Chains A and B, each alone.
Chain A
Amino acid sequence: MSALSAFFPSAAPEAQRPATRDTPWLRWSLTGVALLFVAGFLVIPLTAVFAEALRKGAEVYWAALVDPDALAALRLTLTAAVIAVPLNVVFGVAAAWAIAKFDFPGKSFLTTLIDLPFAVSPVIAGLAFVLVFGLQGWLPPEAQAELLAPAVARELAAIPGLGWALGGLAEWLANPRIVFAVPGIALATIFVTVPFVARELIPLMQAQGNDEEYAALTLGANGWQTFWRVTLPNVKWGLFYGVVLCNARAMGEFGAVSVVSGHVRGETNTLPLHVEILYNEYQFAGAFAVASLLALLAIATLILKSLIEWRLTLNREQNL
């Protein structure tokens, strides 16, 4: 004891503290910085959204939400998500399956291509659609109409019952538009959400390897059975996670959709675009009310995501 303390005289008072723990002031200041950051960038803005939305009372809040234009925007946002998410699930699963389980020429190119929407600014993506499908584009509306054979569409619409069932679709086929209409918004949404499902699945599938598929093969399973009974169940939670993220982005997308939408109120406005319009018109209460709706969607998504993440870690721990 005496010999040691002679060697390390300063070690004596601090020896009480375990080597893996920092000094209190360092711990508290680091925690404090983190908390301040969270408050400043997350809690306060989110609170502000709800506070502003409810400032003029619940009636104004409610009125802004049930305004026909707001409802139309909500409907369009959900439509875009309903189109984009399933398509990206199919595409994402197929791409992840191909990339993780097989070797083929151009594999790394495909992987890069999937990441493209992360790298390209959404505004540029939207612009690209306008340049292709717009009035001065490569495939302007007249060409689109020709391509879709409006005659067929009119005949379809003329069939009693069917015309009614197809409703807007038949009407749209007769006079197709892509940009500044719902298809353009769906396209732009699909483009920006392409990476989410595939990006989530590829590392998961790669980590799991091919052994279970090979095992299924030797047991007599065909490709289809192997996929549905082995591959897909193994990535189930990862897939849900990808879907949640994909959906969040689909509903929240602004840039790309803004370029292709044309901002026709009640027709081609999504929720984020509607918020912008209201805000620019100084209807702050309305803007914040609609924004709070989006924030609620985001919070619901976050809760769902945490639940899935919790399941996912549980699964991963089990697999070790």
Chain B
Amino acid sequence: MSITAKNIKKTFGRYTALDGVSLEVPTGKLVALLGPSGSGKTTLLRIIAGLEFADTGSGGIFFDGEDVTQVPAGQRGVGFVFQHYALFRHLTVAENIAFGLKIRRRSERPTKKAIAEKVAELLHLIQLEDLGGRYPVQLSGGQRQRVALARALAIEPKVLLLDEPFGALDAKVRKDLRRWLRRFQDEIGLTTIFVTHDQEEALEIADEVVVMNNARIEQVGAPQEVYDRPTSSFVHRFLGNVNQITLPWGGLIDGSTAHVEDGVAFVRPHDIELVHFSEDRDGEAAVVYDIHAAGPVARVSARREGNNESVEIELPRSQLALLRLVEGDCVLLRARPKHPPVSEYAI
């Protein structure tokens, strides 16, 4: 089921959480709402779920073109997973999963047997077959998150919404679980939106990344697209490391990867080429003052001759070895030519 949000506005008192945001999520896609805290991403998710309502004068929320703006959360057919799981602490894992089915009106409620089967099936899906009788407090964070997911899936939602689903987990579990989510989404093809402030997470698993800042959407695109071709300085800064270089800069050439805005060029550290200084080559002269070579990638810091601005360069260690670079060397810096255009893979 596709999700459309049209011109959503939301204010809390004087604070504007969403300032006329429009979003289109195609059926079956996994979309990340990415942004710093306070950017409005969670508010947008909650409005889509029906847990908050947009200000009057906003457009609306549409599921498959059908206006659901006034439909209460419980009738939208939305599976929602909360950042802190929000499992019912007085119920067992199995009872948590069955909750959404048990509370249905008698005419719509599945039989006890059908509910038990559904619970068993979901427990199998989240690989917690043996833990149905446990209480949430007896589970680890990753297990709780999976139970929360199973509970949301039990009502067979048409849309899955996840609010910072891996935010409270440790790094390792987080990585495992997000890959698991990606595979799971591939299998069942449920339209899914998840909120995150972790760019790595968004870039790794989303089909499409929606970058939000200051109550607005900055850019929408495939992960590689938003990373390689940011359309604003914010996206440039937010996604990965970036050098902010005051112009004029000798190393800026036409067709380079640099993004120029208000007299400042944004260039990623790995998009800067570095060669030893020589009179007959183009580039910005700089003096190397720090070389950090732990890990697969070496990080070189250099200071520009002209204005003493610091520039970071990342390059493979093999290349660093070839250059025989030492601190105090004079070098030339140059923005790398644009990547060959990325094949526009499906969104």
Restricting to A193-238, which residues have a CB under 8 Å from any CB of B?
A: 211-212, 214-222, 225, 229-230, 233-234, 236
Interface contact A211-B84, CB-CB below 8 Å: yes
B73-81, B173-181, B190-198, B312-320: which lies at the interface: B73-81
Question: How far apart are the CA atoms of A100 and B74 in the complex, in Å?
Answer: 22
Q: Which A residues are in CB contact (< 8 Å) with B79?
A: 218
Interface contact B82-A214, CB-CB below 8 Å: yes
Smallest CB separation, A135 vs chain B (Å): 52
Restricting to A233-255, which residues have a CB under 8 Å from any CB of B?
A: 233-234, 236
Question: How far apart are the CA atoms of A218 and B51 in the complex, in Å?
Answer: 8
Cβ of A23 under 8 Å from chain B: no
Interface contact A211-B103, CB-CB below 8 Å: no
Number of interface residues of A (CB under 8 A): 19
Interface contact A212-B88, CB-CB below 8 Å: yes
Cβ of B152 under 8 Å from chain A: yes
Q: Which B residues are in CB contact (< 8 Å) with A215?
A: 80, 82, 86-88, 148, 151
Interface contact A217-B51, CB-CB below 8 Å: yes
- A214-B51, A229-B103, A318-B137 are contacts. A220–B74 as well, Cβ < 8 Å? yes
Interface contact B89-A318, CB-CB below 8 Å: yes
Give the contacting residue for A234; candidates B78, B80, B82, B89; CB below 8 A: B89
- A233-B90, A234-B89, A318-B135 are contacts. A218–B84 as well, Cβ < 8 Å? no
Question: How far apart are the CA atoms of A202 and B137 in the complex, in Å?
Answer: 23
Which secondary structure characterizes the binding site on chain A?
helix
Q: Residue on B with the closest CB to A208?
A: B89
Smallest CB separation, B85 vs chain A (Å): 8
Smallest CB separation, B53 vs chain A (Å): 13
Interface contact A234-B90, CB-CB below 8 Å: yes
Q: Which A residues are in CB contact (< 8 Å) with B51?
A: 214, 217-218
- A217-B73, A218-B79, A220-B74 are contacts. A319–B100 as well, Cβ < 8 Å? no
Restricting to B63-116, which residues have a CB under 8 Å from any CB of A?
A: 72-75, 78-80, 82, 84, 86-90, 99-100, 103-104
- A216-B99, A219-B103, A219-B155 are contacts. A319–B137 as well, Cβ < 8 Å? yes
Give the contacting residue for B103; candidates A212, A214, A225; CB below 8 A: A225
Cβ of B49 under 8 Å from chain A: yes
Q: Which A residues are in CB contact (< 8 Å) with B74?
A: 217-222
Question: How far apart are the CA atoms of A195 and B30 in the complex, in Å?
Answer: 50
Question: How far apart are the CA atoms of A215 and B89 in the complex, in Å?
Answer: 12
Interface contact A230-B88, CB-CB below 8 Å: yes
Q: Residue on A with the closest CB to B79?
A: A218
- A218-B73, A218-B79, A219-B103 are contacts. A212–B137 as well, Cβ < 8 Å? no
Q: Which A residues are in CB contact (< 8 Å) with B103?
A: 216, 219-221, 225, 229
- A234-B90, A319-B137 are contacts. A219–B99 as well, Cβ < 8 Å? yes
Question: How far apart are the CA atoms of A136 and B79 in the complex, in Å?
Answer: 64
Interface contact B82-A211, CB-CB below 8 Å: yes
What is the 8 Å Cβ interface bit string for chain B, positions 22-58, against chain A (1 contact, 0 not)?
0000000000000000000000000001110000000
Using CB atoms and an 8 Å cutoff, list the residues of chain A in contact with chain B. Answer: 211-212, 214-222, 225, 229-230, 233-234, 236, 318-319
* 29 contacts across the A-B interface (CB closer than 8 A): A211-B82, A212-B87, A214-B73, A214-B82, A215-B82, A215-B87, A215-B88, A216-B99, A216-B103, A217-B73, A218-B50, A218-B73, A218-B79, A218-B80, A219-B74, A219-B99, A219-B103, A219-B151, A219-B154, A219-B155, A220-B74, A220-B100, A225-B103, A229-B88, A229-B103, A233-B90, A234-B89, A234-B90, A318-B89
